[in-house]
Structure 1
Amino acid sequence: MAVTSTPVLPGLPALPDPAAEAVLGSGLLEELSYAFGGPFHFLLPDAFDRNLAALRAVLAEAGLDGQVYYAKKANKAAVWVERCAEHGAGVDVASAGELREALGHGVRGEDLVVTGPAKNPELLRLAVRQGALIAVDSLDELDTVVMTALGGRARPARVLLRVLPAAQPHSRFGLTGDELEAALHRCAKAGPALRTEGFSFHLSGYDIQARADVAGTAIGLCLRARALGLEADRISVGGGLPISYTDAASWQEFLGTQHSGHYHARKSFGTGDFYPYHSRVSGAGALRALLAAHPEGHDRALADLLRESGTALLLEPGRALLDRAGGSVFRIQGVKERAGYLLLTVDGTSLSLSEQWFASEYLPDPRLISPDADRTGVARTEVRTEDRTGVRTEARSGAAEGPAGAHRAAVGAATCLESDMLSWRKITFPRRPRDGDLLVYPNTAGYQMDSNESPFHDLPLPPKVVIDHTDRPRPRWRLDRHFH
């Protein structure tokens, strides 16, 4: 096995993912690229199941009642909703289309939570009719829900009152203190037509202590609501559980060394422009840290406050449920020489790597795969490894693939826009990329695949392929059943 030198420019290797490695090594991606004739995404639902089980395990070990709702906006694929239906998880929806899609794939109305600001009246009517939990964002919205509930329905409307966090007073989401007080009295006045189940909040960012502080406030509001005769026995802390795409050393090295010279056209990014691709605690570990945190003004952990007050915890994660649940595949269809680096053009657009939506960059290193495999079916891929000293090397499996060395390349899209770059960063590859090679961007299921997708230039939207069994010698696949 030939080994190449460590890249000169800072890279960001993805954390090991045996399931994804099995798919890359099977030769399946090359066949699918040929079959579809364009970019596509592959989905690994077993990872979703593991992430859901891990979050539930944290709630169980803390002795808490709760529910996990998948934030559907994170990825439109139907397979995630199907898994929620199978495992009794909920789904967080914010439109009538998302609500219908969840129902159509087997999720009960009672297992839906409806979020989003200034909800469409049609959405509210559907939510009340189906028994979904509604996170009310304004007094006007509350009045609409109450009127709908009083309109002859047999069961009450279910609501959470959304709190405007004191730490983010300029947020467009939530009710102020005065509005909350008015809402509580309106809820009490509505009587049995309305079931006020508790409070929720939207908090931007991934600060665990800040989320614990607002959760502590929400518990206090539950006690206030109970004094008015309302049920108020649960709070929703939303999502915001970070995940790690790479290891701590790689992330710190990247942040400490990256500058405009590392990007095509000397594009400049500040360190604060990037998602935190490494977090000290992530996924289920972040939930555990949240429950262990002491909310401001309290001398006990959040988990203790929830138990002692008899308050259930609701979660609405998206990215944390989709960690290592898929990747995105593009075929190189052009290679140009530039001063000191290459400029690749692939058969898709940056709209399928939605970090560009935030004027940012999706940083985990893509893998370069040759469409040629040897006669045993072993694909020729670059594999990153790390020895005990933490020094990364890159090895190639299969037959020789051309000259080895540090080949730097930025990745552009197949459109007429200068700004349409999948990777502004000059990525170091251990051999020269060439026409027909595949680039596989890892761990893109959470918010990258379709948040910003568009059939620009009449290019088809990349299909999603569900790979159900990665432990088989030959993985099985099918197209996702999303209702287009």
Structure 2
Amino acid sequence: MNLVRISSEPNHNTTVANLMNHALPSDPTFHDIRRHCHGEVPLVGRLEPWMEQLLRHPRLPELVAEHGSPLNVISSNPMRDNVQELNEIAASRGLDFRVFFARKSNKCLHFVDTANALNIGVDVASENELRQSFDRGTDSSSLICTAAIKDESLLRLCLDKNVCVAIDNRDELEVTGELARSSGHTAKIALRLGGFVHQRQKLPTRFGFDVERDIDLASQLSDYPVRVEGIHFHLDGYDADQRVSGIVAAMDWVKALRSHGHLPTFIDMGGGFPISYLNDGENWERFWDELRSALRGQREPLTYRGHGLGLVNFKDDVIGKPNSYPYFQSLTRADWLKKILDTRINGETISKLLKDSNLQLRCEPGRSLMDGCGLTLARVEYRKQNADGEWLVGLSMNRTQCRTSSDDFLVDPILIPSGGKRDPITGYLVGSYCTESELLTLRKLHFPSGVRRGDLVAFPNTAGYLMHFLESRSHQFPLAENLTFEQCTEYFSR
């Protein structure tokens, strides 16, 4: 499907008052669009104005009926604002800086078009992503290939198209060198590093050359037909101070490379820029406190069959750590980048050290650029009580269509009723795969106005990874369609 460009519109977060500890949907602090569904502990998601406009439209059920359930709706306008927010932080410090859109976070080509229009780069993780980006007009100088596995076909394409490759290991380096020699090319590469030491602890990773053990690589690269363009790394988690440690170690590698005649011009710090899905940090903390109480048997379960979301009760002590994205974070995107750039090392800020070294700082956000760019709609097909008497609400979608590696999607869905009076129920959302574990939400949800076949459920802010990263079509179900917000408004205007 060809996605049309969305006209520019301002991006302002919807203002919703913070919830008190025991607020209920009848409380005026709840925005009316959310009053039909909330968690046992409400986790109210941030909504963009375009999302509210879409969810309020009376013809939304027709749109889903025509295009199928689930249906993904996207908008690129928040992406533009997110990029501008990061660029302004770097520009205010006089830093040479470039954002690369992590293509793997969302498969819609509309976002590649937006990246090209904004003159930012595109980070690709497969041959198809690379070919599609070329087809949309992305220049080779605006691409970097960071695929975890790079076969000869992908490496050959990168060589032929003069695309920089983030080299992860010596086997990749050997194959790249062999292909470059046989084709008469000089390969553009960035060396991917890992194993950084932070606060005297080595950071575990499966990616990259070890920053300490492999330092001799700088003296060996002259044996290969390669041009070292820069240093690349990606750290797990969202710790800004760890990024500082990574940048400092990467600058040491730059010095070593330059001492051996190489001319790296950038350090790429990867992604992991935090975002916050929720309006309220207080309820986020309360949810985990209440979940721990439930696991100790001190209150009724908050989750299906007492699922711990990474936590377990061991001898009346709750241990483990949440297997969840931190859906509420107080230091996000621009402020997080600001903290990194303003950290001082031996009296100089990171931004000053980068400038003095004539290095461009690059980054590859996916989720952070997709913040506010999409939502997923699904139709209610049934409600029933299971053998334990718990209500289950069946949706026409499967759990891979709103999930990453987290155990659960910890944002309250939004129920859009199809009319009529219903009795209130409390239950769980379940999906279309034929397994006992096929729950769309493990959290217990309250439906104060009831729920019935034909209602719609919206999952907010799903563009970053949640729509597509694990998406599958087991049982031969079709994949979800993806529409732009502009296409939806055009449909409504017919």
TM-score by length of 2: 0.83
| Residue 453 of structure 1, CA deviation | 1.4
CA deviations 1:165-186 (Å, max 9, x no partner) are 2345542211124664343223
What SS is found at the alignment partner of 1:216? helix
What SS is found at the alignment partner of 1:468? helix
1:268-279 alignment to 2 at 5 Å?
A: 268-269=308-309, 270=311, 272-279=322-329
CA distance in 2: counterparts of 1:145 and 1:85, whole angstroms:
28
RMSD: 2.3
Is 1:243–1:319's contact at 8 Å kept on the other side of the alignment?
A: yes
Structure 1 residues 179 and 112: CA distance shift in structure 2, 3 A:
farther
| Aligned residue number for residue 395 of structure 1 | none
Structure 1 residues 272 and 266: CA distance shift in structure 2, 3 A:
closer
Structure 1 residues 422 and 99: CA distance shift in structure 2, 3 A:
same
1:434-473 alignment to 2 at 5 Å?
A: 434-468=452-486
The alignment status of 1:234 with 2:266, answered yes or no, reads yes
| Aligned residue number for residue 409 of structure 1 | 427
Name the amino acid aligned to 2:480.
Answer: P
Runs of 4+ more than 6 Å apart: none
The alignment status of 1:161 with 2:191, answered yes or no, reads yes
| Aligned residue number for residue 205 of structure 1 | 237
| Aligned residue number for residue 12 of structure 1 | 43
The alignment status of 1:343 with 2:392, answered yes or no, reads yes
Is 2:40–2:443's contact at 8 Å kept on the other side of the alignment?
A: no
CA distance in 1: counterparts of 2:362 and 2:341, whole angstroms:
12
Name the amino acid aligned to 1:463.
Answer: E
Is 1:4–1:404's contact at 8 Å kept on the other side of the alignment?
A: no
Name the amino acid aligned to 1:159.
Answer: I
Which residue among 357, 371, 380 is the counterpart of 1:309?
A: 357
Structure 1 residues 348 and 177: CA distance shift in structure 2, 3 A:
closer
Is 1:350–1:422's contact at 8 Å kept on the other side of the alignment?
A: yes
Paired positions, count? 437
CA deviations 1:327-369 (Å, max 9, x no partner) are 11111111113667521011111010123xx351011111000
| Residue 82 of structure 1, CA deviation | 1.2
CA distance in 1: counterparts of 2:287 and 2:131, whole angstroms:
43
CA deviations 1:424-463 (Å, max 9, x no partner) are 1111233111111000000011111111112122211111
CA distance in 2: counterparts of 1:354 and 1:331, whole angstroms:
17
CA distance in 1: counterparts of 2:465 and 2:283, whole angstroms:
22
Is 1:212–1:294's contact at 8 Å kept on the other side of the alignment?
A: no
CA distance in 1: counterparts of 2:333 and 2:83, whole angstroms:
10
Is 1:113–1:135's contact at 8 Å kept on the other side of the alignment?
A: yes
Is 1:165–1:203's contact at 8 Å kept on the other side of the alignment?
A: no
CA distance in 2: counterparts of 1:13 and 1:262, whole angstroms:
16
Structure 1 residues 307 and 28: CA distance shift in structure 2, 3 A:
farther
Name the amino acid aligned to 1:284.
Answer: A
The alignment status of 1:253 with 2:300, answered yes or no, reads no
1:52-451 alignment to 2 at 5 Å?
A: 52-153=83-184, 156-167=186-197, 168=202, 170-177=204-211, 180-190=214-224, 193-246=225-278, 247-258=280-291, 259=294, 261-269=301-309, 270=311, 272-294=322-344, 298-337=346-385, 341-355=390-404, 358=405, 360-371=407-418, 401-402=420-421, 407-451=425-469
Is 1:142–1:183's contact at 8 Å kept on the other side of the alignment?
A: no
CA distance in 2: counterparts of 1:275 and 1:21, whole angstroms:
24
| Aligned residue number for residue 74 of structure 2 | 43
| Residue 316 of structure 1, CA deviation | 0.7
Is 1:161–1:180's contact at 8 Å kept on the other side of the alignment?
A: no
CA distance in 2: counterparts of 1:188 and 1:302, whole angstroms:
30
| Residue 198 of structure 1, CA deviation | 1.8
What SS is found at the alignment partner of 2:418? strand
After superposing the two structures, state which structure 1 stretch, 173-182 or 74-83, moved more.
173-182
| Aligned residue number for residue 392 of structure 1 | none
CA distance in 1: counterparts of 2:49 and 2:283, whole angstroms:
20
What SS is found at the alignment partner of 2:443? strand
Instruction: Mark the runs of 5 or more structure 1 residues left unpaired by the alignment.
Output: 373-400, 479-484
Structure 1 residues 24 and 54: CA distance shift in structure 2, 3 A:
same
CA distance in 2: counterparts of 1:348 and 1:177, whole angstroms:
44
| Residue 466 of structure 1, CA deviation | 1.2
CA distance in 1: counterparts of 2:423 and 2:431, whole angstroms:
25
Is 1:45–1:468's contact at 8 Å kept on the other side of the alignment?
A: no
TM-score by length of 1: 0.85
CA distance in 2: counterparts of 1:133 and 1:4, whole angstroms:
55
Name the amino acid aligned to 1:116.
Answer: A
What SS is found at the alignment partner of 1:262? coil
CA distance in 2: counterparts of 1:336 and 1:236, whole angstroms:
51
Is 1:118–1:137's contact at 8 Å kept on the other side of the alignment?
A: no
| Residue 118 of structure 1, CA deviation | 4.2
CA distance in 2: counterparts of 1:198 and 1:303, whole angstroms:
17
What SS is found at the alignment partner of 1:55? helix
Is 2:72–2:480's contact at 8 Å kept on the other side of the alignment?
A: yes
Is 2:47–2:372's contact at 8 Å kept on the other side of the alignment?
A: no
CA distance in 2: counterparts of 1:464 and 1:71, whole angstroms:
18
Name the amino acid aligned to 2:289.
Answer: G
Structure 1 residues 178 and 219: CA distance shift in structure 2, 3 A:
closer
CA distance in 2: counterparts of 1:29 and 1:59, whole angstroms:
41
CA distance in 2: counterparts of 1:126 and 1:182, whole angstroms:
29
After superposing the two structures, state which structure 1 stretch, 166-175 or 212-221, moved more.
166-175
CA deviations 1:87-145 (Å, max 9, x no partner) are 21111112111111111111112211111334111111111211211111112212222
Identity across aligned pairs (percent)?
A: 28
CA distance in 1: counterparts of 2:389 and 2:348, whole angstroms:
57
